[in-house]
Amino acid sequence: MLTKRIIPCLDVKNGRTVKGVNFLELRDAGDPVELGALYARNGADELCFLDISATLEQRKTFAELVREIARNVNIPFTVGGGIGSVAEVGTLLNAGADKITVNSAAVRNPQLISDLAGQFGSQCVVLAIDTKYDNGEWYVYTHGGTRPTPILTTDWAREAYNRGAGEILLTSMNHDGTKNGFALDITSTISQLVNIPVIASGGAGTMAHFVDVFREGRADAALAASIFHFKEIEIADLKKYLKENGISVRI
């Protein structure tokens, strides 16, 4: 049985880690490099570094920050935010990132997924999907969750898989920062739809929520931010709890 992964997310704006609710009302959560190093020491399986304002403000992810993170952590980490070309991905991977995540640029130009998978391999291409439940359907949103699209999340996940994406990072905007639990229905749907790992994001508030998303949501990994940043749940305690509840994790 493959072990389930716990992934702290470092949402970064202007060089600082931030966290909000439903993608809004951001508050400072600390230095991303220091937090990343701490999580690596405390048992995180991977890290995810997202420059959340890069696309919205038409900026590029800072490769220098990626280099600094790489110098200070010894676990795999994913980088995203404003990535829109093969060249940019090459720069970030050379700076030390293990994987990259694309979102808005891939929606605008789906061929980007195919190009990245062809150039660097599917194993380092993560498609981030920001999704919101509206009028009975889950739709894709872009530009940091500020722009709705008419694209159904299931359709987009299937296309990304067919184009060579190696993982899907699925964030429910309805659940983000609420601490009321993950979006189990859409997570389970996507997990069964594609034959690649699905990382669940948005809504973690208790240790039981992680058990739910691994069992009912069929997720391969779970990503969270504020509960780790503000020390509401320690990763070591979470992994012990998961193991006690029959979830296979790396201790």
Q: How far apart are CA 217 and CA 204, in angstroms?
A: 13
Distance CA 192, CA 131 (A): 17
Mean pLDDT of the 108-133 span:
97
- Overall pTM surpassing 0.75 (yes/no): yes
* Residue 249 domain flag: no
How much is the pLDDT for 23?
45
Q: Answer whether residue 21 shows pLDDT above 60.
A: no
Residue 9 inside a domain? The answer is: yes
Q: Is 134 among the residues known to form the active site?
A: no
216-238 pLDDT tens trace: 999 999 999 889 988 899 999 99
Residue 250 domain flag: no
Judge whether 11 counts as a catalytic residue. Answer: yes
Amino acid 26: pLDDT: 54
Give residue-wise pLDDT tens across range 146-170. 899 999 999 999 999 999 999 999 9
Q: Amino acid letter at 5? A: R
153 occurs within a structural domain: yes
Split into its structural domains, the chain has a count of 1
Domain presence at residue 57: yes
Domain span holding position 42 = 5-244
Max mean pLDDT range (9-23, 61-75, 198-212)? 198-212
Name which of 23-27, 78-82, 170-174, 240-244 the model is least confident about: 23-27
Instruction: Tell me whether residue 95 is in a domain.
Output: yes
Of 111, 65, 64, 63, nearest to 84 by C-alpha is 111
Q: What is the DSSP pairing of strand 5-13 with strand 16-21?
A: antiparallel
Structural domain includes residue 126: yes
CATH code at 72? 3.20.20.70
| Residue 251 belongs to a domain | no
β-pairing verdict for 16-21 and 24-30: antiparallel
Residues 42-61: pLDDT tens digits?
A: 999 999 998 876 655 444 55
Please, which residues have CB within 8 angstroms of residue 137's CB and are 6 or more apart in sequence?
Answer: 152
Is the confidence at residue 186, as pLDDT, over 90?
Answer: yes
Beta bridge partners of 247: none
Q: What is the mean pLDDT of the chain?
A: 90
Q: Which of 11, 51, 212, 220 is catalytic?
A: 11
List 51, 130, 176, 220, catalytic entry: 130
